[in-house]
């Protein structure tokens, strides 16, 4: 297992959720600490709050990954009587590096809003409010026939070969590879100075360009040759759309009111807010944007949503939603805590693929600031 450095982990995160996708005023990305720090223990959290930092200190954490940036607003001073400033001081004192992936993680394919759509059991999920297109590439690699299936599995697990509703897509042809090892070589097959002919398989897979680094790393790890031959080719195919939200079809038709109850149960909530002119209307199409997504409701209407799920809906925006004939379920902002499970799984997969010797820990802190109190009268 290899040592993990903060800059390597950051590079992997930014391959997965490119900073170019973030909303313009979002202070996402590197927050506090050192990029050259050796990382052995990573805490995965939704928010970086004083209690989260204390948890990190107690767990001897080197790196905090958060969905929400720790520094939404610049510090006006360094007065440590301010709990926020004291939190920054604690992070620096204990040499903890902090990185946040926020709206870029919301928008990237396979990110926050895909996780929420999955939790909501939506089918035929597509992005909406499309603002970007993700270019596609083709990876071509030559591998000995004995390792072809192992290579196809590794490429699929790294995220290559996913086309629409299909995965593990590839094309293979068999031929003869010829090479002559030099005296300095340490060949998997053949002897120095002798021309070798090997039955090889040419494997071709398509993938998003942003996943190039992680897929090539997985390919190299699965390849038996010390000098693998491969090529990366830009494609003219239709690019993958990227949008802030996701829209899909419910697994089972139900009323708006019943669907709100389903959302409550799915995210283990004690309450939520429902905005609807007709709570008994049947639901077929649902759009979702995690966090504060009120401003995207016109795009949800345009996309054909019966119900829009998002948090932190403002009073006047709620009136506008009703006027547009849209039913809205506001489960709050904290449903994004799904990031703790999902990014921990992503990190653990990367560690296995890339040989990182690091431990990834889900924060146990519940950082939702709200408590629902019900009127018993």
User: Taking the chain, what is the end-to-end CA distance rounded to the nearest angstrom?
Assistant: 61
Same domain, 115 and 254: yes
The residue to which tokens 């100075």 are assigned: 193
Q: Residue 218 sits in a domain of what CATH number?
A: 3.30.70.120
Per-residue confidence (pLDDT) for residue 138, from 0 to 100: 95
* All residues at 6 or more sequence positions from 35 whose CB lies less than 8 Å from its CB, including other chains: 5, 6, 7, 10, 97
Q: What digits encode the pLDDT tens for the residues 102-146?
A: 999 999 989 999 999 999 999 999 999 988 787 899 999 999 999
Q: Is residue 151 part of a domain?
A: yes
Domain of 289? 109-131+242-332
- pLDDT score of 74: 81
How many domains, the chain?
3
Average confidence (pLDDT) over 211-221: 89
Do 167 and 213 fall within a single domain?
yes
Residues 275, 56: Cα–Cα separation, whole Å: 39
In 6-116 the beta strands, taken as DSSP E runs, fall at 29-32, 38-39, 41-45, 63-66, 97-100
Same structural domain, 327 and 205 = no
pLDDT bin (cut points 50, 70, 90) of residue 1 is low
| Domain end call among 180, 203, 238 | 238
pLDDT in tens, 65-104: 999 999 888 888 989 999 999 999 999 999 999 999 999 9
Asked if residue 375 belongs to a domain, the reply is: no
Cα–Cα distances in Å, from 301 out to 251, 261, 287, 316, 327?
A: 20, 22, 9, 17, 10
pLDDT at 167: 84
- Digit-coded pLDDT (tens) for 312-347: 999 999 999 999 999 999 999 999 999 999 999 999
| b (16+ CB within 10 A) / e for 131-153 | ebebebbbbebbbbeebbeebbe
**Which of 219, 238, 257 marks a domain boundary?**
238
Task: Kindly state whether residues 119 and 258 are assigned to the same domain.
Answer: yes
What percentage of the chain exceeds 70 in pLDDT? 99
Element (H, E) at 4: strand 4-5
Q: What is the pLDDT of residue 189?
A: 87
DSSP 356: B
In percent, how much of the chain has pLDDT > 90?
80
Residues 89 and 155 in one domain: no
Distance of CA 227 to the CA centre of its chain: 31
Among the listed residues 341, 340, 356, 349, the one whose alpha carbon sits nearest the alpha carbon of residue 6: 356
Could you tell me if 247 and 121 lie in one domain? yes
Q: Edge-to-edge, what's the strand order for the sheet holding 282-292? A: 123-134, 240-255, 282-292, 307-311, 327-330, 273-275
* 198 — pLDDT class (breaks 50, 70, 90): very high
Which residue(s) pair with 308 in the sheet? 287, 328
75 contacts 67 by C-beta, under 8 angstroms: no
Task: Let me know whether 326 and 286 are in one domain.
Answer: yes
- Mean pLDDT score, 260-274: 96
- Six-digit token string for 262: 């389903």
Residue-level pLDDT at 24: 86
> Could you tell me which residues are beta bridge partners of residue 130?
243
Same domain, 163 and 187: yes
Please check whether residues 155 and 288 belong to one and the same domain. no
SS3 content of the chain, % helix, strand, coil (to 5): 35, 30, 35
Q: How many CA atoms lie within 13 A of 7 on its CB side?
A: 4
Asked whether residue 368 is assigned to any structural domain, the reply reads no
Do 100 and 22 share a structural domain? Answer: yes
Same domain, 256 and 121: yes
Average pLDDT rounded to a whole number, residues 210-217: 86
> Mean pLDDT across the chain, nearest whole number?
94
Question: pTM of the entire structure?
Answer: 0.80
Q: Is residue 377 part of a domain?
A: no
| CATH number for the domain harbouring residue 37 | 3.40.1390.30
Both 253 and 302 in one domain: the answer is yes
Contact partners, residue 325, CB within 8 Å, separation at least 6: 277, 301
- Could you tell me if residue 126 is inside a domain? yes
User: CA–CA separation, 258 vs 250, rounded Å?
Assistant: 12
pLDDT of 11-69, one tens digit each? 999 988 989 899 988 999 999 999 999 999 999 999 999 999 999 999 999 999 999 99
What gap in Å lies between CA 302 and CA 300, rounded to an integer?
5
The answer to whether position 369 is within a domain reads no
């Amino acid at each position: 297992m290899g040592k993990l450095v903060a800059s390597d982990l950051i590079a992997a995160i930014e391959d997965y959720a490119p900073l170019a996708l973030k909303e313009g005023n979002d202070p996402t990305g590197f927050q506090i600490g050192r990029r050259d720090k050796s990382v052995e223990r990573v805490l995965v959290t939704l928010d970086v709050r004083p209690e989260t930092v204390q948890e990190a200190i107690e767990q001897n954490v080197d790196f905090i990954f958060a969905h929400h940036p720790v520094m939404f607003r610049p510090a006006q001073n360094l007065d440590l009587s301010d709990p926020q400033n004291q939190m920054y001081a604690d992070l620096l004192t204990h040499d903890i590096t902090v990185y946040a992936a926020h709206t870029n993680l919301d928008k990237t394919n396979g990110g926050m809003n895909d996780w929420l759509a999955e939790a909501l059991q939506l089918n035929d999920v597509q992005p909406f409010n499309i603002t970007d297109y993700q270019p596609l590439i083709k990876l071509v690699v030559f591998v000995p026939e004995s390792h072809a299936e192992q290579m196809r599995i590794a490429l699929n697990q790294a995220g290559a070969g996913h086309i629409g509703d299909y995965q593990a897509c590839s094309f293979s042809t068999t031929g003869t590879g010829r090479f002559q090892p030099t005296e300095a070589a340490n060949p998997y097959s053949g002897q120095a100075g002798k021309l070798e002919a090997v039955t090889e398989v040419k494997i071709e897979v398509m993938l998003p360009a942003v996943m190039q680094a992680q897929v090539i790393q997985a390919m190299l790890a699965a390849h038996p040759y010390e000098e693998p031959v491969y090529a990366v080719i830009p494609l003219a195919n239709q690019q993958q759309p990227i949008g802030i939200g996701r829209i899909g079809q419910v697994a089972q038709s139900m009323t708006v009111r019943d669907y709100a109850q389903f959302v409550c149960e799915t995210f283990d909530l004690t309450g939520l807010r429902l905005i609807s002119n007709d709570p008994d209307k049947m639901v077929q199409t649902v759009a979702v944007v995690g966090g504060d997504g009120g401003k995207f409701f016109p795009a949800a209407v345009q996309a054909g949503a019966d119900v829009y799920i998002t948090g932190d809906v403002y009073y006047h925006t709620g009136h506008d939603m009703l006027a547009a004939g849209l039913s809205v379920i506001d489960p709050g902002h904290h449903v994004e805590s799904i990031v703790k499970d999902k990014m921990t799984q992503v990190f653990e997969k990367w560690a296995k693929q890339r040989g990182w010797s690091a431990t990834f820990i889900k924060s146990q802190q519940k950082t939702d600031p709200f408590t629902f109190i019900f009127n018993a009268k």
